[in-house]
Every structure is written in structure tokens, then in C-alpha cells.
Structure 1
Amino acid sequence: MAKFYGIGTGPGDSDLMTVKGANLLKKMSVLYTPEAKKASKSLALSIVEPFLNPELEIKQRHFPMTNDWEEKMISWQTIAKEISADVRSGQDVAFITLGDPMVYSTYSYLLDLLDDDIETETVPGIASFISMASQVQLPLCIDEEKFAVIPATVSAEEIKNGILQNDTVVLMKVANHLPKVLPILREANLLEQTILISHASQAKEVRQMTIKNLKETDKLSYFSTMIVYKNRQF
């Protein structure tokens, strides 16, 4: 019976794809891959290219990066219907997503919109912050420590509370929120205990082991993540 698979690509390095994910991709008939801008090259697709069979049909679909919920929903519904039709026709279909499918991924919405009769399976991938912690060899949490993952899009108060209540905090989507994030970390005296990595594990990775010289007006890549380590010295 044909099936739909959601596969996490990991953060960027093709070698960080799971064996299961890579093996499944070799067997797929159709692959859906997201693009943030129309006609742009999909980063997720570039990661999985070494594992694709030559006969694979690739369908690159536009997922709008907008705050307009209705626009996004229309796009997701259209793609979900197309996927459902492909699976129902007897084809094994995969959708690839950066990092892990269950961590801040549009895939979660797409999964909910598929027709109920479609069999599905989700294959995990390495989230960017997991890769980052391994790269710098600093554990996210040990013993009874607590850690949180917070999108920098939330309010300053929520970020403050997250840092106060946890030992390690991952701040995602920081690129456009430095004017909000930096004063909080500066006030907490945590600038030198925060790492910043853009394009984790990719060839163009940029790594900063301290953000003490980072300014509110600095420009960062969309693929930038901070880890605030309250209990680590480095």
C-alpha cells in the first residue's frame, strides 16, 4: 500500500541525514520539497540530493513566508490535496523538511490537512540546535538541569521568563529580533555565555562563541540560532 513520509533532512550537512531517511528517499516515487521564494533553490533538496534515485519525480512547491494565515492555509491545503492524490494513485510520496519534522516545521500543518485515508509516517531528523551543541561540545542539559526552546518572535517578557526559569535556552528565529533579544541578555550578563551559529553544519556556517560584540543593528541570516548557557564556562 502506498504511503506518505515526512522526512527530516537535518540542519544542512548531508552526512547528518539519518540512515532511515536516506534509505527511504531512494525508494520514493515522488518527492515534495518546500521553497520559501518562488523559483528559488530548496535548501532541503540540496541536502538530500546524494540519496535520490534518477527516476524520482521532484515537485518543488512554494510555501509562503508571510503572516497572512489565510494565504498560508490556502497554499497548504492545495499541496495536501496534491499529495493525497499522488498517494491514492499508488505512489510512495515523501516531503522533506529542514531539521526535525516535529520542531517548528510547516510539515506539521501539512500532515493535519492530508485526507484521513492516507497512511503516513514521520522520520525524525537532527534539529539545528542539537547539531550546534554537538559542534561546540557543550551539553544542552545534564543531571537536573532544564532547557527550553523559545522562538525569538515571542514577547520580551516570555524570553526573560524562559531564561530565568531554565539553565539553557535555545533562541530560534533571532535574525530579525536582535533589538529585543540583546538587551535581555545584556541585562542578565549572559552575552559571553551565548553562542550564535548561522547555517549550522553547512559549508557557509558562521560561528560566534560569544555575542558580546553583536549589535542590535547587525544583519543575520534567517538560519541563525542562539544557545544561552547559564551554567557553562567556555
Structure 2
Amino acid sequence: MCNKGETVKLYVVGVGPGDPELITLKGRKVLEEAPVVFCPSTKGHSRALEIIRGFLKGQKVVLLEFPMKAQNPKVHLTKASEVILKELERFKTGTYVTLGDPSLYCTFFWIYDHLREKVSVEIIPGVSSFTAAACAIPLPLVLGEEKLALIPVLYCENLSTYINDFDTLVFLKVKGKIKDLKEFIDVDRYRVFYIKRATLPEQKIWEGLEALEDNDEDYLSLVVVKKCRS
């Protein structure tokens, strides 16, 4: 079994929201040099792998299954940790890829505690989906003393409680919940943007409250609500 004395290292690379060209130079270098690459997946499909595929040069790719609604998530986390440790015992170094930036809603941190005592971990930042979306609009998320809130709609109730405390609200994980946002947004006070698949060729951006009702929902979508400046 791996231990830190063996100089075993795992890189965690944020691969951005979708456009492969947004991967940092350091992230790309690590990807190209890693002998084994770990990709989180659901039902055998990995969005992160789709992004990095063009940078791979014959490395071993290991899919780690993370079901969206697992009945017993600890089982999958433990299994993923065991798979990573087994591969690192052989290769001594590897790379774990994740969408966006590793510090935001990243599956890796659910298994980090299983690995930290056995391997050295270096985390390489990536471009987050909400900053990419704001640039695509384009829109400054915050200026001066303005306050920003990131809200995972899927796991929150009473969304209206946030609206008066922040100048900009970014609603993530909106699939299945997007119409709920209409109930508390005052169009006279706020600008509303619905962004789907930011940075990808099929990227679409809509402005206005009606966008929250007239568009189909997508896993790779988010909503930005910005208080109008007086």
C-alpha cells in the first residue's frame, strides 16, 4: 500500500467549464506527463474526460464512478479511494481531473481524507463555470464593495432569503429548480441571465425573467441575478 515515504504524488487538475483551451499551462503539462489519469464519471460517462481527451498521449485512463444519486455514497467514495491508491502504488504519480475549479463542489474532496496520509497531493486551479459565464455575458460579478453569493439551488430552500443580502447571486445546480427562481426576482431591481454550456460551441445566453421559463434545463447551466446599479 502507498505511503508518503515512497514519494507517491497525485495532482488534482481543474479542467475548466468545457473549452479545452481554458486549461492552465501547468494543468496541461501535468496531464501530458501523468502515466495514469483518474476521471470521475456517472454511468460510465465523464465530462472531464471529454475536455482533456485531446491532451492525452496513451496514458492509462481510470473512470471512477460517482452516481448522481447514490443510495450509499460512502461505498463509492471508499472504492474510488482504493482504486486510486492501487494505481498509484504501481505508477507512483497520477492526475485526477475535475470540472471547473477543484475548490468548488469538487468530488475529489469527498475522498481526500482517505488519501492525504498516504500520498502527496497538489491541487492545480481551473476556470470555474460561473466566472466563465460572467465573462461570456459579459458582466462584472462584483465591483467595489458589492457582495457575491454562490447558491446551489438543488440543496437550498427559502431562496428569497438571499436576495436582499447580496448584490449578485449565482445559482448553481439549477436543473429541475430553475422555475422556482421566478417567484422572488423583481425585474425592476435585478438583471437576470440564464447561461447554458458556457465556453462550449453550443453555449447560449438569455437575458430576462422569461428565460427562466421558456428554455429547457441543462445540467451545465446556471443563473446569474445582478442588482441594477442606480
Question: Under a length normalisation based on structure 1, what TM-score does the superposition of the two structures give?
Answer: 0.88
Q: Partner of 2:224 in structure 1?
A: 227
State the one-letter code of the partner of 1:121. E
Q: Partner of 2:73 in structure 1?
A: 72
From the superposition, tell whether residues 67 and 168 of structure 1 become closer, same or farther in structure 2 (CA, over 3 Å). farther
Determine helix, strand or coil for the equivalent of 2:164. Answer: helix
Structure-2 separation of matches of 1:191 and 1:37: 42
Q: More deviation in 176-185 or 92-101?
A: 176-185
Task: Name structure 2 gaps, 5 residues minimum.
Answer: 1-6
Shift of 1:209: 2.2
Contact between 2:38 and 2:97, CA under 8 Å: does it hold in 1?
Answer: yes
**1:131-180 Cα distance to aligned partner (Å, 9 max, x none):** 011112211111000001001124442x2222210000000011111242
Structure-2 separation of matches of 1:218 and 1:13: 23
Could you list the structure 1 runs, at least 4 aligned residues long, displaced by more than 4 angstroms after superposition: none
Structure-2 separation of matches of 1:48 and 1:16: 11
Q: 1:198 aligns with which of 196, 199, 210?
A: 196
Q: Kindly indicate whether residue 21 of structure 2 is the aligned counterpart of residue 23 of structure 1.
A: no
From the superposition, tell whether residues 191 and 214 of structure 1 become closer, same or farther in structure 2 (CA, over 3 Å). farther
Structure-1 separation of matches of 2:48 and 2:222: 18
Q: Partner of 1:172 in structure 2?
A: 172
Determine helix, strand or coil for the equivalent of 1:165. Answer: coil
Q: Kindly indicate whether residue 52 of structure 2 is the aligned counterpart of residue 48 of structure 1.
A: yes
Q: Partner of 2:65 in structure 1?
A: 62
Q: Partner of 2:212 in structure 1?
A: 214
Structure-2 separation of matches of 1:64 and 1:117: 25
From the superposition, tell whether residues 191 and 81 of structure 1 become closer, same or farther in structure 2 (CA, over 3 Å). farther
Structure-1 separation of matches of 2:188 and 2:26: 39
Q: 2:39 aligns with which of 21, 29, 33?
A: 33
State the one-letter code of the partner of 2:200. Q
Structure-2 separation of matches of 1:98 and 1:222: 13
Shift of 1:115: 5.4
State the one-letter code of the partner of 1:97. T
Structure-2 separation of matches of 1:191 and 1:224: 23
From the superposition, tell whether residues 102 and 115 of structure 1 become closer, same or farther in structure 2 (CA, over 3 Å). closer
Structure-1 separation of matches of 2:160 and 2:29: 42
**1:45-95 Cα distance to aligned partner (Å, 9 max, x none):** 1111222122x0001222111053xx2211111111111122233431111
Pairwise CA RMSD of aligned residues?
A: 2.0
Determine helix, strand or coil for the equivalent of 1:73. Answer: helix
Determine helix, strand or coil for the equivalent of 1:164. Answer: coil
Question: Under a length normalisation based on structure 2, what TM-score does the superposition of the two structures give?
Answer: 0.90
Q: Partner of 1:137 in structure 2?
A: 138
Structure-2 separation of matches of 1:163 and 1:97: 30
Q: Partner of 2:124 in structure 1?
A: 123
From the superposition, tell whether residues 67 and 80 of structure 1 become closer, same or farther in structure 2 (CA, over 3 Å). closer
Q: Partner of 1:113 in structure 2?
A: 114
Aligned residues: 224
Task: Name structure 1 gaps, 5 residues minimum.
Answer: none
State the one-letter code of the partner of 2:192. T
Structure-1 separation of matches of 2:218 and 2:20: 20
Structure-1 separation of matches of 2:70 and 2:162: 24
Q: How does 1:4-15 map to 2 (within 5 A)?
A: 4-15=10-21
Structure-1 separation of matches of 2:74 and 2:47: 22
Structure-2 separation of matches of 1:37 and 1:96: 17
Determine helix, strand or coil for the equivalent of 2:161. Answer: helix
